[in-house]
Amino acid sequence: MKKVSSIITIFVIVIIASLIVWKVGTPNLISKNKENTTEKVSKKVEKESKKTKKKKEISKAKSSTTETSSSMESESSSESSSESTSSVSSYQSNVRFPELQAYAGKTYYAIDRESAEYPQMFSPTFTIAPDTETIIIDGRQWLIDKVRDDNGGIMLGSPDFVFSFRPLGSSDEVEVVNQGQYLTYSTTMPE
């Protein structure tokens, strides 16, 4: 019996000792766990912030590359448009009246002049000079001072003459208007 009681006493002492050790060690374990958890969380936060920074840097680099390429594209397109504008303006700078550009340098022949009510009112041919400064009617050269729109037609004028015509679908055929009379002219010589 003494053996059994001594075994029970030892067992109770071991249980009490382990409870004391557990009680004393638990706060240390909890604080260690807290420290470990805090360290783990802070490391995760650092990693996430590094990833976020890298993503931001990559997106900044991409956007700056896009901005650079788009600015380069806009510069090249503005350069090409300025080049085309300068080429157009240099082409048109040789022409005094841009509205006559389509007719410049072409000779127009009267079509069926004799069928007109008053054929003498119409010249057999007329030519607008390539620089659009003059018009040649019946072999006589006239200086063009002004050009204006005349109800869908074009009126040329100077102190000495007025000449009016309307395009007929293209610049190769026009209708000359003279005092209410009309006659068709073409760049193709009639047979």
Domain endpoint, select from 70, 93, 116: 93
User: How many domains in the chain?
Assistant: 2
Q: What is the DSSP string of 49-61?
A: HHHHHHHHHHHHH
Say yes or no: 138 and 89 in one domain: no
Residue 191 domain-assigned (yes or no): no
Say yes or no: 118 and 169 in one domain: yes
Say yes or no: 120 and 50 in one domain: no
Q: What is the per-residue pLDDT across 99-139, written as a single tens digit (0 to 9) for each?
A: 899 999 999 999 988 888 888 999 999 999 999 999 999 88
Residue 158, number of CB atoms within 10 A of its CB: 14
Say yes or no: 113 and 165 in one domain: yes
| CATH number for the domain harbouring residue 137 | 2.40.128
Of 7-11, 43-47, 107-111, the poorest mean pLDDT is in 43-47
Reported as a pLDDT band with limits 50, 70 and 90, residue 61 is low
Residue 162 domain-assigned (yes or no): yes
Say yes or no: 83 and 105 in one domain: no
Residue 46 structure tokens: 């650092």
What is the domain range of residue 23? Answer: 1-93
Residue 61, number of CB atoms within 10 A of its CB: 10
Contact between 116 and 180 under an 8 Å Cβ cutoff? The reply is no
What's the rounded Cα separation, in Å, for the pair 13 and 19?
10
Say yes or no: 127 and 170 in one domain: yes
Q: For Cα atoms 8, 10, 15, give the angle at the middle one, nearest 5 degrees.
A: 95
**What is the pTM assigned to this prediction?**
0.51
Say yes or no: 5 and 56 in one domain: yes
